[in-house]
Amino acid sequence: MTSDARSASRRGDRSRDTGKRSLYTNLAFGLIVLIAFAILAAAAIASYYGAHLAPVATVNGHDITKDDLSDRVNVDIWRLNELESQLRDAVSTGRITKDQSDQQIAQIDQAKQDTQTLVDNSLQNLVDAELQGELAKKMGITVTSADVDAKLLEEATRPEARDVWVIEFAPDVKAPATTPTADQDARAKNNADLALAQLKSGTPWETVAKESTDTTDPAGGELGLMEKDSTSLDPAFADAVFSTAVNAYTDVIKGDDGTYRIGRATQVIPGSVDANYQQTITNDGLSLDVYRKAVAADVTRQKLEDQIVADSTTKPSDQKHVLEIMLTQQTDSNTGQPIVADQVDARHILYSPTSDPSASAPPSDDPSWEVAHQHALRTYYALLKDPSKFADIAKSDSADTGSAANGGDLGWLSQTDLVKPFADAIFAPGLTPNEILPPVQTQFGWHVIQFIGRREPALTRMSGFTLDLAKPGADFGAIAKANSEASDASKGGDMGWVAANQLDSTQWAAISKLGVGQVSDVVNDNGSLYLFKVTEDQTRLPDADQIATLKSDGFTNWYDGQKASATISVDPAYQQSSSSTGG
């Protein structure tokens, strides 16, 4: 009995051990299954994140995701397609010609086919939208649903078009002047007033139009069907011609360019609203919410621009009266890097020992070399007597047909651009402007050379100006007049009064910190080098010229500065060019 009990007990222990092992095995298997599911889920999440939520750019710590970019690309493609559709409609209604439409449609098709540029532009639209949204928030600017609705209605509206005619009288400005005298302006206005009086007395438009200085259509000044916001119309003239009855004459309108105009409209195509505009968006497979988000970004930008321009043009601000010296920094055509060595301007006449300078030269003892040398010597002595014949002889004699067409002119050259004998000749010290050099032999033949002039690199010249201006009694205006490449050089570099946002942010940053009488360090602004001097400092309202500049460039100058100081990073896979990050 005892023996049987022990046997039963052992069998029970083995049964319990087997059960435990089965339980542990099942638990382990279940855990493995759970881990496998977790791995699969993690992989799915990672895959989804990589395909949809991974950032393609970051603006001040805020991510722009792949889904954001995909949505924006779809919006931009839809807008291109819609623009193409509107162009075709414009042809059918006579607003533009088929040739005009075809040119623009070809550009649209090219934009849609250039996928890399399309994606890059869409990404930059998102970067700007993110940054402008932040800036608007800081300035207390908000965009409501009603604002977006109004913008959508504007997009769906086809503006009124009018067949516009113009008779204009521009003041007769005599070169080199660029602005009219009071007398020239008065004569132009008097001619316009007389023309309007003739029209009102019954003289036919076509007869009066013959006196117009407009060259668009000498037979009558017809500009064609145009919308009020056309960039080819002066704003004041557009306001007048679109508010005057059909076939009636506007008053004499003075434009921003100083020209006096009389206008009329002979045909009106009323504006219209596409009631199905938003439905078309969704019918084309685009989310209306996604499209409204893009429209909201457009509204934000416009409100920002309106605010910046209003503040810049209507409020007094710290302004500085500025003189400038500007030089263009030359770059190597091969490397794109700034040129840091002297350059020489020269022209030459090549006499080759062969009929083709690109062919292999004959041996040095070949008689053809001496023939070329004698030709060069005869030309050299002839030019010593009459250098004015250089261009004509180059065109008729030079074997270098490329430069011969330009009278032998080679342009500005660095020493490293040339073969050594030629370089040694034109970079020799002590040459005088327009000097004719004795013939020089290279592997291409014999050259008769005229040394035109030598110049230092722009940065070297600017550094020299800086040293000169540090001397007592230095005259900034005189140096500017003699050396500056800016349009105001003839006025001693006088830029007039300058306010914030009137110039780009790089130039204003240098000017704004100068006190009266101070001169800036050399400022490099995209390859143009500047020195600035402040002569006065006042808190004042902008004048008319400043207001015009601020209206056209003020927002761009302001925003470029904001963008340059923002922290923006773009995934290299989506970054077409380093400049696309905006700083």
Helix (H, G, I), strand (E, B) or coil at 344: strand
Q: Which of 455, 490, 517 is the last residue of a domain?
A: 455
CA gap 132, 135 in Å, rounded: 5
- Give residue 580's pLDDT: 41
**What is the share, in percent, of the chain residues with pLDDT greater than 90?**
73
Instruction: Count Cβ atoms below 10 Å from residue 428 Cβ, excluding itself.
Output: 12
Q: Note whether 206 and 60 are same-domain residues.
A: no
Angle at 489 between CA 487 and CA 491, to 5 degrees: 105
Domain co-membership, 66 together with 37: no
pLDDT band at 36 (very low <50, low <70, confident <90, very high): low
123 shares its domain with 200: no
How confident is the prediction for the chain on average, in pLDDT? Answer: 89
**DSSP labels, 521-574:** PPEEETTEEEEEEEEEEEEE---HHHHHHHHHHHHHHHHHHHHHHS-EEE-GGG
Residue 220 shares a structural domain with residue 278 = no
278 and 248 in a common domain = no
Give domain status of residue 219, yes or no: yes
Q: What is the dihedral of CA 363, 364, 365, 369, to 10 degrees?
A: 100
Residues 243 and 285 in one domain: no
Q: How confident is the model at residue 156 (pLDDT cuts 50, 70, 90)?
A: very high
Does the residue 474 lie in any domain?
no
Residue 481 lies in a domain: no
Whether residue 150 is found in the same domain as residue 219: no
Of 215, 249, 270, the residue that ends a domain is 270
> 411 in the Ramachandran plot: left (φ > 0), alpha (ψ -120 to 50) or beta?
left
- Residue numbers of the domain that contains 25: 17-53
Distance CA 55, CA 119 (A): 15
Dig out the tokens for 558 from the structure. Answer: 């302001």
**In-domain check, residue 581:** yes
CATH number at 64 reads 1.10.4030
Res 582: pLDDT = 41
- Summarised one tens digit per residue, pLDDT across range 175-201 is 878 889 999 999 999 999 999 999 999
Question: Using one digit for the tens of pLDDT, what is the confidence trace for 330-368?
Answer: 888 777 788 889 999 999 999 999 867 777 888 888 999
Evaluate if residue 457 carries a pLDDT over 60. Answer: yes
Q: Is the pLDDT of residue 490 over 60?
A: yes
Answer whether residue 578 shows pLDDT above 50: no
CA dihedral (391, 397, 402, 405) positive or negative? positive
Q: Tell me what pLDDT residue 438 has.
A: 97
In a domain, 370, yes or no: yes
**What pLDDT is attached to residue 342?**
93
What band does 121 get if pLDDT is binned at 50, 70 and 90?
very high
**522 in a structural domain:** no
pTM attached to this predicted model: 0.74
148 and 287 belong to one structural domain: yes
Question: Do 244 and 226 belong together in one domain?
Answer: yes
Amino acid 24: pLDDT = 61
pLDDT of residue 5 exceeding 70: no
Q: Is the pLDDT of residue 11 over 60?
A: no
My answer on whether 205 and 151 are in the same domain is no
What's the CATH number where 239 sits? 3.10.50.40
Q: How many domains does the chain have?
A: 4
- By three-state DSSP, how is residue 430 classified? coil
Domain finish residue from 398, 426, 455? 455
| Least confident residue range of 2-16, 246-260, 267-281, 513-527 | 2-16
Residues 66 and 142 in one domain: yes
Residue 211 Cα distances to 105, 179, 258, 293, 308, angstroms: 37, 22, 17, 52, 42
Is residue 64, in this structure, part of any structural domain at all? yes
**Residue 518 forms part of a structural domain:** no
Is residue 310 domain-shared with residue 384, that is, in the same domain?
no
- In angstroms, the CA 183 to CA 170 distance is 13
